Structure 1
């Protein structure tokens, strides 16, 4: 039996809602012991800085560039993550010395794998120095440099979780800012790809019309009607005809086609768009999943879950939430980053031809030691 390492995973996703922290004990292979987790929401001023960084990143042409506000955002983001870890350790009575490694996702500000460019803000060395714990970071870059999509990276962790599932093939669908699907076959074979927008477009739409930057309880969308023409235009993107593996930037789609719609109708249309994109993606795998497990913030939107069930459920297929499967839908990506950090320390691959399109399995991540 391989030695278990104690790891913390840190995730700040494209929804820009906060920092997820999760503790995991794992060998980076089949043994996984999930520990406590927490989310530390961003303040409005922090979200504003990240939005400004996303806008500024559109001009980036190289992974190392940090002009203007991007350098400030990277330093600030690193401090926020350090504070989140310190708070997490304090809340759970843990000493830094018991943590073997931290997996640090950082903040993706641009993802253009077709240009072999992906940028995740985050100073791994500064984080390791402040916390006194080794940090694995910049985990997408090696895959992109090798010609892969650099995303999604969570599938190898999904496979470890799926080992306990009663039915396969299964699909774990993570609906964050961007949505992605991991298909796990009966023998553990993996296919993974981004399915399309998750919550990002809907969040931006809600922020435009309401005081809340997301559709709380799916209530706005539930009051609206789907605009069929606008939905058809959104689904007409060449992305949906592209074979997997494939990945998206948060800003690959925009909601300009919805201009003129009411807040309610726009929310209903964008919610259905996310569900339709997942449904279309289910046709790209060898066999339809018997079980769809919905993870990420999207599972908390009853209107989206209703749409997913209407589109995906059959006599042979069922849609359930992460919690119904015995998982933690809020912390799964942070758990994955802890798992990936352990694999990186051991030199094990974190991406595969079937998950990112890389020519061969790729190890990845830079290691910073205090």
Structure 2
């Protein structure tokens, strides 16, 4: 049994989620504490600069210098998050056995039949281990990518462990509405997982560009708008949707071009409808689940959740309906995956990332 801190910084660049759990890397999972630490404006700007540089770099040539600057800021922010969640849990630091450190994805390229995929997460595992005095598992996607997988989604086996621990009736679709949406299909056989399309990423970018806000709070902007059918059709025409799973996306694989020229309200309504339609299409291709459980920030957008429910003719419930934590789900997952990493257990399967065989991963940075 391990007491572990998991850390997650999503594509929205809003902050660090930190969660403490006790786990054996199997179905024994006991959440103990969690915090959400926002980035400062300066930290967010450095991370955005790294993402912007990555989109120009595209894995070709020397890495941009912006990565090193952003990595320092990111690692320092994660060290603060570790110390903060330890304090909130009321635990001595030497009670923590391990930290699972996802880092920040600045660029992801899915594999194709012609070439392997590539992924880049910034985050200095050895520096974090030294700063907090706890062993750190980091770089959890690279082994899967190197073996021919997508390296994503990685939270699916954690979803399955919770599903089996709680003896839920299947099949269950766990829908993660982050910057990109992905689904974990859980039932009698191996879980199946893939990215369904954008979730809040495009919508967040639209809000930032048109109204100077980081997101569409409570779906209020979309609620005042009207879906533009022509723009929605153009968005839906992306070749990604014809690909079979497993498959994965980078947040920036889609463009706002189809909605440019629309009012802020109509653009938000159209992008929300786009997320809802692509999520519904993906789930219905898998079948009719007993339940749809939603995690991630998008579950707090009532307009998005209603649009998904309308297209599926059934509600998508927040994961809190089964006593899971939708704010800390991914942070908990990377804590759990860190334990599996040091035990040499799989982090991914052929059915979840397209890797040829069950694949472990991660690198261990010792505190001393």
TM value normalised by structure 1: 0.95
The 1:62–1:265 alpha-carbon spacing in structure 2 relative to 1, beyond 3 Å, is closer
The yes-or-no answer on 1:270 pairing with 2:271 is: yes
The yes-or-no answer on 1:43 pairing with 2:44 is: no
The 8 Å contact of residues 111 and 248 in structure 1, kept in 2 or not, is answered as yes
Q: Describe how 1:187-202 pairs up with structure 2 within 5 A.
A: 187-202=188-203
Supply the RMSD in Å over aligned alpha carbons: 1.4
The 1:332–1:96 alpha-carbon spacing in structure 2 relative to 1, beyond 3 Å, is same
* Counterpart residue number, 2:233: 232
CA apart distance, 1:113: 2.9
Query: Which of 341, 358, 362 pairs up with 1:344?
Result: 341
Number of residue-to-residue matches in the alignment: 362
* Counterpart residue number, 2:96: 99
Query: Which of 338, 345, 364 pairs up with 2:361?
Result: 364
CA apart distance, 1:61: 5.6
* Unmatched runs of 5 consecutive residues or more in structure 2: none
Consecutive aligned runs of 4 or more in structure 1 exceeding 3 Å deviation: 59-66
The 8 Å contact of residues 220 and 264 in structure 1, kept in 2 or not, is answered as yes
* Counterpart residue number, 1:161: 162
Q: d(CA) in 2 for partners of 1:214 and 1:177?
A: 11
The 1:62–1:181 alpha-carbon spacing in structure 2 relative to 1, beyond 3 Å, is same
Q: d(CA) in 1 for partners of 2:277 and 2:139?
A: 32
CA apart distance, 1:270: 0.6
CA apart distance, 1:167: 2.3
The yes-or-no answer on 1:20 pairing with 2:9 is: no
* Counterpart residue number, 1:125: 126
The 1:325–1:177 alpha-carbon spacing in structure 2 relative to 1, beyond 3 Å, is same
The yes-or-no answer on 1:109 pairing with 2:110 is: no
Secondary structure at 1:284's aligned position in 2?
Answer: helix
Q: d(CA) in 2 for partners of 1:51 and 1:357?
A: 29
What do the CA deviations read for 1:223-260 (whole angstroms, capped 9, x no partner)? 10111110111011111110000000010001111111
* Counterpart residue number, 2:290: 290
* Unmatched runs of 5 consecutive residues or more in structure 1: none
Secondary structure at 1:22's aligned position in 2?
Answer: strand
TM value normalised by structure 2: 0.95
The 8 Å contact of residues 33 and 88 in structure 2, kept in 1 or not, is answered as no
* Counterpart residue number, 1:148: 149
